Amino acid sequence: GAGVSQSPSNKVTEKGKDVELRCDPISGHTALYWYRQSLGQGLEFLIYFQGNSAPDKSGLPSDRFSAERTGGSVSTLTIQRTQQEDSAVYLCASSLVPRPNTGELFFGEGSRLTVL
Amino acid sequence: EDQVTQSPEALRLQEGESSSLNCSYTVSGLRGLFWYRQDPGKGPEFLFTLYSAGEEKEKERLKATLTKKESFLHITAPKPEDSATYLCAVQFGSGYALNFGKGTSLLVTP
């Protein structure tokens, strides 16, 4: 069956440009997370969606980062005026139930962002 | 201060050589501790959830245990295909996020 799909898989951009990263969660999954994974670092939580609303945005590192989710499905993470420290793999995960206490998240393969 | 600390950072085992990975946590109000496996270039894959001290879960050669301060992932008679990074995460309080450690990179050689 279809898993979590992320695009692009790789993105190289110049410092100062804006980028959009897309996540297609598993159909019917109401919970959606964005994480960031930098070399040598653990997964860093960015934002949590329940349906189309984001009750937890506490992990967004600056106001250059924003995310939205439409139709309870696709989500887009936007990074404005990219900086070299934004270079990382951005991972999306979804779960069938809201606030998944089971901890069972289904991750995509990530979008690797390189800012030159 | 890190909430989740994993050790060792890297571990190299011979095939069949059993060992344990450690995950210690400092949060209060633990709602769950989770183990994931991540292969290079892939997203993490869920393995186990543990909710309370004394709980154990098993899957093939893997067994996860939980105390009030830490969790262990025991690997019995590992095979080369068990080579991966193993991630530990916790969920606590009223938060929505799973908070991950930096992982243990495991290499099992034939």
The per-residue pLDDT for range A8-58, each reduced to its tens digit, is 999 999 999 999 999 999 999 999 999 999 987 889 999 999 999 999 999
The yes-or-no verdict on residue B89 having pLDDT over 70 is: yes
Residue A1: its pLDDT value, please?
55
Chain A residues near residue B98 by CB distance under 8 angstroms: 33, 45, 103, 105
CB contact under 8 A, B44 and A107: yes
Question: What is the Cα–Cα distance from A47 to A49, expressed in whole angstroms?
Answer: 7
Question: What is the Cα–Cα distance from A10 to A22, expressed in whole angstroms?
Answer: 12
How do residues A89-106 score in pLDDT, each as one tens digit? 999 999 987 666 777 899
3-class DSSP state for residue A86? Answer: helix
Residue A27: its pLDDT value, please?
93
The yes-or-no verdict on residue B22 having pLDDT over 60 is: yes
Question: What is the biggest distance separating any 2 CA atoms in chain A, rounded to whole angstroms?
Answer: 40
Residue A55 in contact with partner chain B when CB distance is under 8 A = yes
What is the mean pLDDT of the segment spanning B35-55? 95
Q: Which of B24, B92, B96 to mutate to test the interface with A (most CBs of A within 10 A)?
A: B96
Question: What is the Cα–Cα distance from A86 to B62, expressed in whole angstroms?
Answer: 35
Strands B19-25 and B70-75: antiparallel
Residue B47 in contact with partner chain A when CB distance is under 8 A = no
CB contact under 8 A, B103 and A42: yes
CB contact under 8 A, B89 and A103: yes
CA-based torsion, B8, B9, B13, B17: positive or negative = positive
Residue B95: its pLDDT value, please?
81
How do residues A51-82 score in pLDDT, each as one tens digit? 999 999 999 999 999 999 999 899 999 999 99
A108 CB-near residues (< 8 Å, 6+ apart) = A3, A4, A5, A6, A23, A91, A92, A93, B43
What is the mean pLDDT of the segment spanning B15-40? 94
Residue B96: its pLDDT value, please?
86
The yes-or-no verdict on residue B86 having pLDDT over 60 is: yes
